[in-house]
A and B are shown apart, each in its own frame.
Chain A
Amino acid sequence: MEAKLLFDDKHQWYVFARDPDKPEKIIDTNQYMVVSGKESLVLDPGGIEIFSAMLSTILKFIPLEQVTHLFASHQDPDIISSLGMWDQVIPKAKLYTPNLWEGFIRHFGCENIEFCGIKDGGGELKIGDTTLQFIPAHYLHSSANFHVYDPVAKILFSGDIGAALEPQDSSLFIEDFDSHCDKMKFFHQRWMPSNEAKNHWLKRVRKLDIDMMLPQHGRIFRGKEVEQFFDWFEALNVGVALDS
């Protein structure tokens, strides 16, 4: 699994992605980790199929006892079906995820890890000396859904927003925004159900100072590509299956 340091100052952001050993037919996912002091947060730790690759990759950078927090943007299997395994490996950790999904996510196995439900309005979480914000992104696509914003690193983890369906060996970063739009179009039109929710989210995130936007699938947005994405997404009609 490829690992890259995205931000390195008093705290760090890592991306883990493009696992070559992943079974072919499961969707490729990007996992992220924030490390600050003796704590860390793993964002959307992934499905059960990539658990061993994730564990090995994380331990290249930090010891197991430093894996203290997990975050799941929503309840999908590619986000958090590995929970039952993390529950055995880091039993003292805490899981931050939408409160609404508690009864569902616990089906993946959560006997030891402390379940910390995020209320609909969002909130904050301190990891070491770093304060992260949970930004509501409900109905995009999941009915209870959060993104994570780091005001110091100016990074927005955007879950399924900004996702693209691409081959396993594609670059981690966008090289040409215009051609990348084709790879994002179907995903957003079909998986995102509501133009109202989309515009609500855009209004919220356009106020944030963002240098990098990190989706859970596809490529990372840098600099002006973030604003380009917001404009593209705003103009896109979503929820298209209703017309079929």
Chain B
Amino acid sequence: MVKEYSPVKSAITSSQVAGELYRASMIARQLSLAAKNSQAIVHRAGSRVAGLKVISEYFADLALKTIKLAEAINTISLDISHLAVERWRQNTLVDHLFDSQEKTENDDVLLIITETRQRQEGINNRFNIEIRSLESQLEEIQQYMQASRVVAVSFRLEATQTDEYQGILEDMANNIDVFSEKIKQHVLDAKSYIDRLLQS
């Protein structure tokens, strides 16, 4: 038997997750800008920061992936929210049908209840699959942010070996750190909303 979570809580949770991921995707755009800046610096500095060329390319790729993933999670959350509301409406319908059945003891109503129950089950299964997929995508974006912080460490290390670009590289490392941390926080908040739902 697939677990059935409260449709009201499910609708709220998926909307909260969508909200967190919307904010995360806004910050991911700033992260992407930082990545483009880092590529420009590497290009300008040439051989003096040669060690950063590969890492800045990796960082640019990572930033783009983060934006795409955050937006994809936002879309999944919206789909889940629609499913939760649909389940909510079906539940309300079943409640009313049971009331009607009690009053009339009509076989036709019983048949509609059975059919509605089947639809409910289908929606519930889809909901459970989607929420698990959401969880794994949140894990993935968290891993991206860990990788992003490794990038920041590399920038700091490289900064110690250059004079002219030291300040810029340190600022860049700090920006990457701040953006990654903020995104991570939104992802953690989103995960905690899901955890609370799954534990309910």
- CB contact between A55 and one of B22, B23, B81, B89 (< 8 Å): that residue: B81
* Structural contact, B85 and A59, CB atoms closer than 8 A: no
Number of A-B contacts (CB under 8 A): 47
List, in ascending order, chain A residues with CB within 8 A of B85's CB.
Answer: 51-52, 85
Contacts of A85 in B (CB 8 A): 11, 85, 88
- Give per-residue flags for B99-142: 1 if the beta carbon is below 8 A from chain A beta carbons, else 0: 00000000000000000000000000000000000000000000
**Which A33-66 residues have a C-beta within 8 angstroms of B?**
48, 51-53, 55-56, 58-61, 64
Q: Which residues of B have CB within 8 Å of A60?
A: 18-19, 22-23
Q: How far does the alpha carbon of A61 sit from the alpha carbon of B15 in the complex, in Å?
A: 11
Which of B16, B82, B92 is close to A52, meaning CB atoms less than 8 Å apart? B82
* A48, B89: Cα distance in complex, Å: 10
Report chain A residues within 8 Å CB of B23.
60
Minimum CB distance partner of B18 in chain A:
A56
**Chain A residues within an 8 Å CB radius of B18:** 56, 59-60
A56 near B14: Cβ-Cβ < 8 Å:
yes
Which residue from A48, A55, A61, A84 sits with its C-beta under 8 Å from B12? A55
Distance in angstroms between the alpha carbons of A59 and B92 in the assembled complex: 24
Closest approach, in angstroms, between the C-beta of B1 and any C-beta of chain A?
25
B128-166 vs A, CB cutoff 8 Å, 1 = contact: the mask equals 000000000000000000000000000000000000000
The total of chain B residues at the interface (CB under 8 A) is 19
**B11 lies within 8 A of A55 (CB):** yes
Q: From A21, A60, A61, A84, name the one whose CB has the most chain B CB atoms within 10 angstroms.
A: A60
Q: Is A131 an interface residue (CB 8 A)?
A: no
Distance in angstroms from B74 CB to nearest chain A CB is: 9
Distance from B186 Cβ to chain A, minimum over Cβ atoms (Å): 11
Whole-angstrom CA separation of A130 from B22 in the bound complex: 27
B8 on interface, CB distance cutoff 8 Å: yes
* Least Cβ–Cβ distance between A66 and chain B, in angstroms: 12
Q: Which of A48, A55, A58, A89 has the most CB of B within 10 A?
A: A55
Say how far B197's CB is from chain A's closest CB, in angstroms.
14
Q: In the complex, A64 Cα to B85 Cα: how many Å?
A: 16
Q: Given A52-B78, A53-B78, A89-B8, is A59 in contact with B15 using a C-beta cutoff of 8 Å?
A: yes
Residues of A within 8 Å of B19, CB to CB, are 56, 59-61
Q: State how many angstroms separate the Cβ of A190 from the closest Cβ of chain B.
A: 31
Give Cα distance in the complex from A58 to B16, angstroms. 9
Q: Is B176 positioned at the interface, with any CB of A under 8 Å from its CB? A: no
> B21's closest neighbor in chain A, by CB?
A60
A21 to B85, alpha carbons, bound, how many Å?
14
Q: In whole angstroms, what is the CA distance A52 to B7 when docked?
A: 12
How far, in angstroms, from A61 to B81 measured CA to CA in the complex?
A: 17
Contacts of B14 in A (CB 8 A): 52, 56
Q: Is the CB of A89 within 8 A of B84?
A: no
Determine whether the beta carbon of A56 is less than 8 Å from that of B77.
yes
B8 touches A52 (CB 8 A): no
Kindly state the separation between the CA atoms of A52 and B81 in the bound complex, as whole angstroms: 6
The interface bits of chain B over 50-89 (1 if a CB of A lies within 8 angstroms of the residue's CB, else 0) are 0000000000000000000000000001100110110011
Known: A52-B14, A60-B19. 17 other contacts (CB 8 A): A21-B78, A52-B81, A52-B84, A53-B78, A53-B82, A55-B12, A56-B15, A56-B81, A59-B15, A59-B16, A59-B18, A61-B19, A64-B16, A84-B92, A85-B85, A88-B8, A89-B11
Question: Which positions in B face A, CB cutoff 8 Å?
Answer: 8, 11-12, 14-16, 18-19, 22-23, 77-78, 81-82, 84-85, 88-89, 92
